[in-house]
Amino acid sequence: MAEDDVKIVMFCCNWCSYGGADTAGTSRMQYPPNIRVIRVMCSGRIEPQFVLKAFREGADGVIVAGCHHGDCHYDAGNYKLDRRMRLVYKLAEDMGIGKERIYHDWISASEGEKFADTVKMMVTRIKELGSAPLKEQLDAEA
Amino acid sequence: MVEKAKIGTMWLGGCSGCHLSIADFHESLLDVMELADFEFSPVLMDTKYDEVPELDVLIVEGGIRNEENRELAEELREKANFVISYGTCAAYGGIPGLGNLHTVEELEKEAYINSPSTPNEEGIIPNEDVPALESRVRPLNEAIDVDLVVPGCPPRSDVVAEAVIALLKGETVELPTTNLCDVCPREKPPEGLAMDVIKRQFEIGKPEDDLCLIPQGLICMGPATISLCGAECPSIAIQCRGCYGPTSKVMDQGAKMISAIASDYGIEEDKTIDPEQVADQLDDIVGTFYTYTLPAALIPAKMQKGGK
């Protein structure tokens, strides 16, 4: 698929990853414009429902980013997210979405470069995989 | 004498178990019969599909599995003033919905050719006089407009009788918005839910009395299930499997429960536990968390072609 068509939803926690996006922006790092960032207060707030809803609405991939282990503003939200995401990968595999379409990582507020690299990596990966079939399949049936 | 209301009941892609729960109205049947008559019910009486009377209330059991289901649902919708989506299959797709993990071809092959009890040497898949399967199971409300949803597998007779009587009297019916834990008699540990191992019922034998089942290692779907049943299973030491579906505030019962279990698991050693551990202990994610609601989930069927 063409790179312009890649649609990725990215969930960022307020304290680290969103700050990371800010850092990438203020230091003028280049990264592809295919992501839609959604800010949440803590990565521990991100539910599997959010990830699945993104696919249902037509996303081709989802990135979830939170603070590094030990850095969570609320002590341990990112640890809970970590466990949750392992189950989401398994579910995505079982439902034929493919776990490669989902990615979670830790990005601190100073890691603007890691933010840009993560986005670049995901866009390349999704470009190779092609568009996610869910919305297409459901639309075709309707 | 006041004219009685006309009730119709119908079965689609279900097992007729929900009709048994109507037949089990028991003494409240008298209260219902005072206000209404059953005019159309293929399960309980002789009926003709081309002679369907005008109905005041239609109770539909079962989801949409094949073309016939859809056709009958649409036809009956025109005859009925008020349609109740009755039971979990009609509301969320139910257990037949797990068929959404396979293609129609796979299902037909399994049923007609691979099944050891079906002698079929020529490998014929019937396609005449048998309604064709649709691409996936759908809840009733994806085919027709539904006025009220009463979930349950099957719904408790007293709950339904109460709802039907209220409706016939012109009152509105409201489902609870609380989850099962709210009405469950088992005690939650004061320090919060925490589990450190996931087990199946036969592995732990008889669970401890009066203690919540989740800390004992059972995956009880109570946290993500509506409180309509009054926590019948947990009160006799069986974990909830979520047969009444989620509350109206939840979009996807399975995903909500995955979230709950992943957070509760090892919460006391949050920072040291291997995050992969909880996923390793669950072999069948869809079967465990989506037993009853797969067709109504955010991802309602397995995507073919490996997600490409």
Alpha carbon of A27: minimum distance to chain B alpha carbons (Å)? 33
pLDDT of residue B180 exceeding 70, the answer is yes
Alpha carbon of B268: minimum distance to chain A alpha carbons (Å)? 11
pTM, whole model, 2 decimals? 0.91
Please state, in angstroms and as integers, the Cα–Cα distance from residue B13 to each residue in B91, B137, B240, following that order.
11, 8, 24
Query: Cα dihedral sign for B111, B114, B118, B119?
Result: positive
B290 falls within a domain: yes
**Position B153 confidence tier, pLDDT thresholds 50, 70, 90:** very high
pLDDT of residue B130 exceeding 60, the answer is yes
Q: Does B303 contact chain A (CB < 8 Å)?
A: yes
CATH architecture of A8-141: 3-Layer(aba) Sandwich (3.40)
B216 falls within a domain: yes
**Position B308 confidence tier, pLDDT thresholds 50, 70, 90:** very low
Q: Report the half-sphere exposure of B159 (CA within 13 A, side-chain side).
A: 20
Domain boundaries, chain A: 8-141
Q: pLDDT, tens digit, for every residue of A84-93?
A: 999 999 999 9
- CB atoms inside a 10 Å sphere around CB A139: 9
Percentage with pLDDT > 70 across chain B? 98
Whether the Cβ atoms of residue A93 and residue B303 lie closer than 8 Å to each other = no
**Position B159 confidence tier, pLDDT thresholds 50, 70, 90:** confident
Q: Does B271 contact chain A (CB < 8 Å)?
A: yes
What does the block give as tokens for B111?
């049923």
Closest Cβ–Cβ partner in B255, B266, B304 for A47: B255
- Total domains in chain B come to 2
CA–CA separation, A12 and A28 (whole Å): 19
The pLDDT score that the predictor gives to residue B123 is 87
What does the block give as tokens for B155?
């719904």
Range of the domain at B229: 180-296
The pLDDT score that the predictor gives to residue A140 is 76
Q: Among A14-23, B10-19, B168-177, where is mean pLDDT lowest?
A: B168-177
Using the 3D structure, point to which of B117, B146, B169 is the last residue of a domain.
Answer: B169
B76 and B204 in a common domain: no
Instruction: Please judge whether B285 and A55 are an interchain contact, meaning their C-beta atoms are less than 8 angstroms apart.
Output: no
Using the 3D structure, point to which of B147, B169, B191 is the last residue of a domain.
Answer: B169
The CATH number assigned to the domain holding B88 equals 3.40.50.700
Percentage with pLDDT > 70 across chain A? 99
What does the block give as tokens for B104?
């129609």
Q: Does B219 contact chain A (CB < 8 Å)?
A: no
The rounded mean pLDDT for chain B is 91
Average pLDDT over residues A49-70: 95
Q: Does B104 contact chain A (CB < 8 Å)?
A: no
Closest Cβ–Cβ partner in A84, A89, A95 for B302: A95
Residue of chain A with shortest Cα separation from B98: A95
Residue of chain B with shortest Cα separation from A89: B279
pLDDT of residue A101 exceeding 90, the answer is yes
Average pLDDT over residues B265-275: 89
Which residue out of B106, B265, B299, B302 would a mutagenesis test of the A interface target, given it has the greatest number of A Cβ atoms within 10 Å? B299
B212 falls within a domain: yes
B288 falls within a domain: yes
